[in-house]
């Protein structure tokens, strides 16, 4: 999308205020990126939340990413997982990959000192979950997920962990089909 004109921005905001989920999502991006309006990540997050609460997976994914980074919202492990899972469960490949990344690396909480940040990251690391989400993302077309899955499987996982992840993948896929 190109630079928003004042008229286009005003129409977009009007549509968003009337509950149009795609308009809310685009408006959030306009605020976050400063397109047609002064950059304001807090206002961007507010509009993403409105779209995410309506079940719009791209907004849920982006909002989860904002909670991971602490951009426009206070950084939160629980909120990041909540919104990324909602999008991932709808088949959003980027959200699935993001979940895989969080589980592979662990969550880096910027509100604590280095030692506690490392401890928390290690405590939130889960290679079985990472493998599961990377696999699902790859099945939905996210190519980097294949590389990331292969890396964690080779470097850190035992055969029984891979078998458990494969079982979780089957269960997830069966749950979607029912």
| CATH number for the domain that contains residue 11 | 1.25.40.10
Q: Of the residues 90, 106, 138, which one is the last residue of a structural domain?
A: 90
Kindly tell me the burial class for residue 174, based on how many C-beta atoms sit within 10 Å of its own C-beta (0-12, 13-18, 19 or more): exposed
CA dist., res. 1 & res. 26, Å (int): 9
Indicate if the pLDDT at residue 178 is higher than 60: no
pLDDT of residue 176: 67
Q: How many CA atoms lie within 13 A of 28 on its CB side?
A: 25
Identify whether residues 150 and 65 lie together within a single domain.
Answer: no
pLDDT of residue 18: 98
Neighbour-count burial for 70-108, b at 16+ CB within 10 Å, e otherwise: bebbebbbebbbebbbbbbbbebbbbbbbbbbbbbebbb
Q: Of the residues 32, 65, 90, which one is the last residue of a structural domain?
A: 90
- Averaged confidence pLDDT in the chain: 95
pLDDT of residue 119: 86
CA dist., res. 120 & res. 102, Å (int): 12
Residues 30-59: what's their mean pLDDT?
Answer: 97
| H helices, E strands: number in the chain | 10, 0
Three-class secondary structure of residue 161 per DSSP: helix
Read off the tokens for 25: 């999502």
Number of domains in the chain: 2
Identify whether residues 14 and 80 lie together within a single domain.
Answer: yes
CA dist., res. 95 & res. 117, Å (int): 23
Indicate if the pLDDT at residue 1 is higher than 90: no
Nearest to 108 by CA among 98, 96, 118: 118
Binned at pLDDT 50, 70 and 90, residue 36 comes out as: very high
Identify whether residues 97 and 159 lie together within a single domain.
Answer: yes
Residue range of the domain that includes 116? 92-178
Identify whether residues 75 and 40 lie together within a single domain.
Answer: yes
Nearest to 30 by CA among 18, 41, 19: 41
Identify whether residues 97 and 81 lie together within a single domain.
Answer: no
pLDDT of residue 87: 98
Identify whether residues 175 and 105 lie together within a single domain.
Answer: yes
Identify whether residues 160 and 82 lie together within a single domain.
Answer: no
Question: Which tens digit of pLDDT belongs to each residue from 94-145?
Answer: 999 999 999 999 999 999 998 888 888 888 999 999 999 999 999 999 999 9
CA dist., res. 36 & res. 34, Å (int): 6
Residues 40-52: what's their mean pLDDT?
Answer: 97
Identify whether residues 65 and 123 lie together within a single domain.
Answer: no
Identify whether residues 84 and 13 lie together within a single domain.
Answer: yes
Identify whether residues 99 and 133 lie together within a single domain.
Answer: yes
């Amino acid at each position: 999308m190109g630079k928003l004109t004042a008229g286009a921005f005003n129409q977009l905001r009007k549509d968003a205020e009337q509950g149009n989920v795609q308009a809310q999502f685009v408006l959030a991006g306009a605020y976050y990126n400063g397109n047609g309006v002064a950059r304001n990540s807090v206002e961007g997050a507010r509009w993403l939340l409105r779209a995410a609460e309506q079940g719009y997976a791209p907004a849920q994914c982006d909002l989860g990413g904002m909670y991971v980074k602490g951009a426009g919202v206070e950084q939160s492990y629980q909120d990041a997982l909540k919104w990324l899972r909602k999008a991932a469960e709808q088949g959003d490949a980027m959200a699935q990959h993001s979940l895989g990344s969080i589980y592979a690396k662990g969550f880096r909480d910027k509100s604590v000192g280095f030692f506690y940040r490392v401890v928390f990251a290690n405590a939130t690391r889960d290679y079985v979950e990472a493998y599961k989400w990377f696999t699902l993302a790859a099945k939905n077309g996210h190519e980097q997920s294949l590389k990331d899955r292969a890396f964690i499987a080779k470097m850190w996982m035992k055969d029984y962990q891979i078998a458990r992840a494969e079982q979780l993948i089957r269960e997830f896929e069966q749950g979607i089909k029912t």
